[in-house]
């Protein structure tokens, strides 16, 4: 079955999260697996929050893991050229919510497993595809639930994992690269609340609570944190400031900014700095969203350099808030990471990319400012690499506004390119030979 057909089927299934309803997508994938005889297992939580694991050569001990998710973010049809769940092809593009994030990678992986199924008995290695629920809304019903199942946890431990979030084409000074995600920042959601100040009187409003909240916001945003630049960012800064004479990350970043590549500058800035942003602020004596006894509150979205841990961060925030009559709580925290870029599959990825587009010089690593389900597998000793390659005609800077945006779409060229490159990588892996030996 062609990846375009699989992708159109998946895009027509509304898996907006919330509420999710990934069960409908899993049911479609189950039917495909039964049709061609692929091994699979499904797990459903809370009614219709389903995930599916599909295996090629399930008896093989050595396995490559391909990770994806079936849920998508909200989509209002207003402003779309075609309905977000109509899966219309127009002028070389397939439109739909999830076309880039990230049902295309699911469709490509499934098409590859289907194509290799007839060879299954002769393979020396296998592939495990894990397609999960709830990635877009905290993963409560997704990968962490699967990892509570001991057999699945053992199967995924210590594997090379190809995931969403990278493989995107980027051009700099006339040279094309494929940007591979090798890590993520730590992500923390903090809440600061201002309890009712004793002896305040609603008949004599002073706005003391709101003023205290404003002080707390300024203090948290000014908190002092470790600033060691991650190795991945150091390597990129060095690459893109060669010949400038810049000798430290601050000077190198300034050189990139002066060069006028705003996309690269913003990416490198995010990779070299922790960011703390107040996203939800509530105040006012009659605000119905405030709990009893609470007069003001703020929620912070914090994207921290990957080596900053939860205890280290919260202690720094408490120090910044010292002396203020406020309460601090951690709503969620996920530790960031950096994966080694020495995994042999990177060599195979570069060879496959160059075969299908000779303009691409190399794979280069980057850290994503966001987060995805890779963070749950890294602690299991996995090398997690964001590599879902797209064509140079749909480069990194062009796809970013489309992900979670209006008129999300993937070019048919990108879909074919991803299929070609991933097919080469997977065939090389399951046959246990060097890429250069493949015809």
Q: In this predicted model, what pLDDT tens digit does every residue of 372-418 receive, in sequence order?
A: 999 999 999 999 999 999 999 999 999 999 999 999 999 999 999 99
Percent of the chain surpassing pLDDT 90: 91
Report which DSSP code applies to 16.
B
pLDDT tens-digit profile of 295-345? 999 999 999 999 999 999 999 999 999 999 999 999 999 999 999 899 999
Chain centroid to Cα 203, Å, comes to 50
Residues of the chain with CATH 3.30.70.360: 184-334
- Residue 248 makes CB contacts below 8 A (sequence gap 6+) with none
The pLDDT assigned to 208 comes to: 85
The pLDDT assigned to 278 comes to: 98
Residues of the chain with CATH 3.40.630.10: 3-181+337-437
User: With 70 as the cut, is the pLDDT of residue 200 above it?
Assistant: no
User: With 60 as the cut, is the pLDDT of residue 439 above it?
Assistant: no
Percent of the chain surpassing pLDDT 70: 97
The pLDDT assigned to 206 comes to: 62
- Centre a 10 Å sphere on the Cβ of residue 345 and count the other Cβ atoms it contains: 20
Output the average pLDDT for the chain: 95
- Centre a 10 Å sphere on the Cβ of residue 359 and count the other Cβ atoms it contains: 12
Q: Of 94-108, 199-213, 333-347, 366-380, which has the strongest mean pLDDT?
A: 94-108
Phi, psi (rounded to 5 degrees) for 436:
-65, -15
Residue 308 contacts residue 275 (beta carbons within 8 Å) = no
Residue 65 contacts residue 157 (beta carbons within 8 Å) = no
pLDDT tens-digit profile of 176-190? 999 999 999 999 999
Name the CATH superfamily, with its identifier, for domain 3-181+337-437: Zn peptidases (3.40.630.10)
User: With 60 as the cut, is the pLDDT of residue 437 above it?
Assistant: no
**Could you give the 3-state DSSP secondary structure of residue 181?**
strand
Higher local confidence (pLDDT), 435 or 70:
70
The pLDDT assigned to 354 comes to: 98
Higher local confidence (pLDDT), 369 or 49:
49
Q: Is 184-334 in CATH node 3.40.30.10?
A: no
Largest Cα–Cα separation, the chain: 83
* Range 38-64 average pLDDT: 97
SS3 sequence, 66-122?
Answer: EEEECCECCCCCCCCCCCCCCCCEECCEEECCCCCCCHHHHHHHHHHHHHHHHHHHH
């Amino acid at each position: 079955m062609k990846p375009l057909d699989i992708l159109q089927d998946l895009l027509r299934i509304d898996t907006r999260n919330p509420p999710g309803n990934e069960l409908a997508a899993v049911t479609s994938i189950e039917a495909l697996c039964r049709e061609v005889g692929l091994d699979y297992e499904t797990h459903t939580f809370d009614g219709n929050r389903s995930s599916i694991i599909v295996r090629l050569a399930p008896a093989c001990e050595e396995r490559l893991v391909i990770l994806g998710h079936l849920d998508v973010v909200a989509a209002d049809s207003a402003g779309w050229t075609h309905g977000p769940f109509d899966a219309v092809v127009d002028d070389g593009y397939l439109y739909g919510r999830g076309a880039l994030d990230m049902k295309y990678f699911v469709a490509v992986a499934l098409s590859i497993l289907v194509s290799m199924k007839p060879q299954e008995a002769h393979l020396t290695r296998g592939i495990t595809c894990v397609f999960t629920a709830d990635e877009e809304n905290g993963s409560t019903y997704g990968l962490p639930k699967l990892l509570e199942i001991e057999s699945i946890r053992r199967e995924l431990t210590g594997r090379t994992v190809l995931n969403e979030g990278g493989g995107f084409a980027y051009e700099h000074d006339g040279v094309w690269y494929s940007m591979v995600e090798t890590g993520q920042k730590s992500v923390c959601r903090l809440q600061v609340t201002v309890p009712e100040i004793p002896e305040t009187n609603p008949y004599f409003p002073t706005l003391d609570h709101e003023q205290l909240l404003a002080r707390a916001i300024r203090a948290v945003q000014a908190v002092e944190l470790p600033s060691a630049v991650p190795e991945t960012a150091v390597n990129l800064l060095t690459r893109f400031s060669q010949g400038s004479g810049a000798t430290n990350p601050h000077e190198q970043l300034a050189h990139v900014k002066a060069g006028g590549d705003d996309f690269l500058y913003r990416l490198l800035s995010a990779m070299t700095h922790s960011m703390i942003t107040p996203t939800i602020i509530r105040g006012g004596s009659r605000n119905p969203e405030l709990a009893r006894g609470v007069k003001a509150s703020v929620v912070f979205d914090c994207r921290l350099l990957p080596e900053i841990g939860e205890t280290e961060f919260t202690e720094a925030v408490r120090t910044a808030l010292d002396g203020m009559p406020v309460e601090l709580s951690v709503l969620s925290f996920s530790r960031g990471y950096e994966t080694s870029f020495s995994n042999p599959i990177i060599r195979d990825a570069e060879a496959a990319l160059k075969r299908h587009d000779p303009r691409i010089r190399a794979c280069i690593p980057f850290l994503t400012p966001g987060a995805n389900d890779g963070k749950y597998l890294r602690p299991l000793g996995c090398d997690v690499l964001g590599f879902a390659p797209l064509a140079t005609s749909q480069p990194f800077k062009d796809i970013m506004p489309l992900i979670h945006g209006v008129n999300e779409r993937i070019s048919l060229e990108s879909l074919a390119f991803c299929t070609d490159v991933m097919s080469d990588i997977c065939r090389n892996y399951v046959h246990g030979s060097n890429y250069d030996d493949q015809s």
